[in-house]
Amino acid sequence: MRWHFLLTPAADGAYNMALDEALMRRAAGCGNGAVFRVYGWSGPTLSLGRNQRARGCYKLADAQGMGVGIVRRPTGGRALLHYREITYSVTMPCSSPAEARALYAFINDVLLGALRRLGVAATRATQPSAIPPGLRPCFDHPSEHEIVVGRKKLVGSAQWRHGGALLQHGSILIRDDQALIERLLREPTGPVPLAATIADALGREPSLEEVSALLRDALASATKRDPEPMEFGDELQGDIDRLRNAYSDDAWTWRR
């Protein structure tokens, strides 16, 4: 597999989701290429899972007043707040559920490698629990194999497999701001447990660039070769522009 590594500037929710899906379409088209992307957000953003019930559930005026954007992801799972965190995505060809499971394990190996290089004692969760659908936040509790510090979730990840390709992306918490989600619900669901954070584990806040460099090193170690840089061509940019309009559309954001 030919790997590319991409560090992109902070952007809004629609652009970030559009670029992830455009890279997934590229992976489906080229058949032998993978991209590991690391990115941030231009402002606090609530991202909703692909099939999560959300219409009428959130106080939109409050979100606007707090400067919180809202976007619906192409992947499943529950709501999470992108604010003081680092987001990664991986896009690559994938033809079966078994391959998707293997890739999930491989990507977690890369994430754990980078976190351990940073000095974070992260592990995989071993408790056999599944996260039920609902309005509780993504970081409410870890499910089996997710990345934790102690028993608290540090990384929330989700996958989408479509058209012969896979997108996996997720959030690595620097600080825990997930309780804000509860404040935006019209009908609160109860106290939100504390999540694990890199700042708590290290006593400091590493930069996006520092974590990105360690993720690149961990990917190189896992694949036994340095990932290549990547340039945006006209076809990719065209996909990004079209998909950004789709992810900005309320018909998608509030589809259910």
Supply the residues annotated as catalytic: 138
Backbone angles phi, psi at 131, to 5 degrees: -90, 115
The region that residue 159 occupies, defined by phi over 0 for left and psi between -120 and 50 for alpha, beta otherwise, is: beta
Helix (H/G/I), strand (E/B), else coil: 19: helix
Check: CB of residue 38 under 8 Å from CB of residue 111: no
Give the angle subtended at the CA of 172 by the CAs of 94 and 81, to the nearest 5°. Answer: 100
Q: Give the neighbor-by-neighbor strand order of the sheet with 80-82.
A: 69-72, 45-48, 80-82
Helix (H/G/I), strand (E/B), else coil: 141: coil
Other Cβ atoms within 10 Å of 42 Cβ, number: 14
Q: Record the tokens describing residue 73, joined without a space.
A: 């992801």
Please state, in angstroms and rounded to a whole number, the distance separating the CA atoms of residues 19 and 208: 18
Residue type, 120: V
